[in-house]
C-alpha cells in the first residue's frame, strides 16, 4: 500500500493506494505542536478507522508547505511503518517542465497539483487550489508549468475581516440568495463567495487572453466545490488531484 500525504497550512490530507485503487482519503488538522509520536498515533488510528492495517503500508510520499510538520510526519511514518518516505522537494523527479524564474521556489503542493493534472485533463490546463491561500497554476499546451497566481484564501479573508474590524463577526461561509446582501452576515458572505467567484472568472479570462486560447480548468481543495458553482466559467472539480499527483511522482522515482 502507498500512503500519500499532502500537508497544507490548515489540513493534512491522506490517501492510501493499493495499486491504482484509492482505498480511502482522510484529513486531520495541521498542528505545529504535535510531535512525531502523536502523528504516528493519529496515522495508525486513521488507517484502522478505514478498515486497513497500517502494517500493509510499504511506501509513502509526502508533500508539505509546513516544514516543521513535514519533518514530524516523516519521523511518524518511519516510527509506524519503518520506512523512509519520499519527500517532494527539489531534486525529486516529477516530469514537470517548470518555466518560472526559480523552479526551486515552486511549492510542493503546486507541483503535485500540476503533475496530477498532466495526463488526466486536456492541455492547456489551469489548476485552482483553494486552501489557506487560493492559488492558480497554468500549464501550456505542451504541459510546461508557466506560473500562476496567489491570493488570500476565503477563510483567511474572513479571519482578516473579523479580527481587524470592530463590528464584523466571524461567520459560517455560505452563499446568500442575493448578491446584494440585506444584513451584515449576507453582505460578508456575498463578498466572500461571489467576490471570490468573480475574481476567479476575471483571472481566468485574463489567463486565457495571455495564452491565446481557452484552457481546461480544474479545481481542488478546501472550499473549491462551494465556490466554483457560482463561477461563469466551466470548472471541473477534482477532490483528490494532489493525491493523484503524489502517486504519479512516487512512481516516477521508484
Catalytic residues: 109
Residue written as grid cell 484552457: 215
- Write out the three cell numbers for 219: 479545481
Three-state SS for 198? helix
Rounded CA separation 216/121 (Å) = 7
Handedness of CA 14, 230, 159, 112 (dihedral sign): positive
**Strand pairing of 133-139 and 145-152?**
antiparallel
b/e map 157-191, b = 16+ CB within 10 Å: bbeebeeeeeebeeeebebbeeeebeeeebebbbb
Rounded CA separation 15/5 (Å) = 7
Residue written as grid cell 516543521: 68
Sheet holding 11-18, edge to edge: 21-29, 11-18, 2-7, 59-64, 86-87
Amino acid at each position: 500500500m502507498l500512503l500519500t500525504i499532502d500537508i497544507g497550512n490548515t489540513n493534512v490530507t491522506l490517501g492510501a493506494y493499493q495499486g491504482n485503487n484509492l482505498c480511502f482519503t482522510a484529513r486531520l488538522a495541521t498542528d505545529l505542536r504535535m510531535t512525531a509520536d502523536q502523528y504516528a498515533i493519529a496515522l495508525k488510528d486513521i488507517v484502522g478507522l478505514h478498515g486497513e492495517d497500517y502494517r500493509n503500508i510499504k511506501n509513502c510520499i509526502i508533500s508539505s508547505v509546513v516544514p516543521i510538520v513535514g519533518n514530524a510526519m516523516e519521523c511518524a511514518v518511519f516510527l509506524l511503518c519503518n520506512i523512509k518516505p519520499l519527500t517532494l522537494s527539489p531534486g525529486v523527479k516529477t516530469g514537470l517542465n517548470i518555466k518560472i524564474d526559480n523552479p526551486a521556489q515552486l511549492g510542493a503542493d503546486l507541483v503535485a497539483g500540476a503533475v496530477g493534472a498532466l495526463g488526466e485533463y486536456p492541455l492547456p490546463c489551469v489548476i485552482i487550489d483553494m486552501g489557506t491561500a487560493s492559488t492558480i497554476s497554468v500549464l501550456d499546451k505542451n504541459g510546461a508549468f508557466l506560473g500562476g497566481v496567489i491570493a488570500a484564501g476565503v477563510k483567511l479573508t474572513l479571519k482578516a475581516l473579523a479580527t481587524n474590524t470592530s463590528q464584523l463577526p466571524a461567520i459560517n461561509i455560505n452563499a446568500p440568495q442575493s448578491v446584494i446582501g440585506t444584513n451584515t452576515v449576507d453582505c460578508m458572505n456575498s463578498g466572500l463567495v461571489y467576490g471570490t467567484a468573480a475574481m476567479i472568472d476575471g483571472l481566468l479570462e485574463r489567463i486565457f487572453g495571455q495564452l491565446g486560447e481557452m484552457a481546461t480548468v480544474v479545481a481542488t481543495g478546501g472550499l473549491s466545490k462551494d465556490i466554483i458553482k457560482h463561477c461563469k466559467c466551466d470548472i471541473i472539480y477534482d477532490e483528490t488531484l494532489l493525491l493523484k499527483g503524489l502517486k504519479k511522482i512516487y512512481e516516477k522515482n521508484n
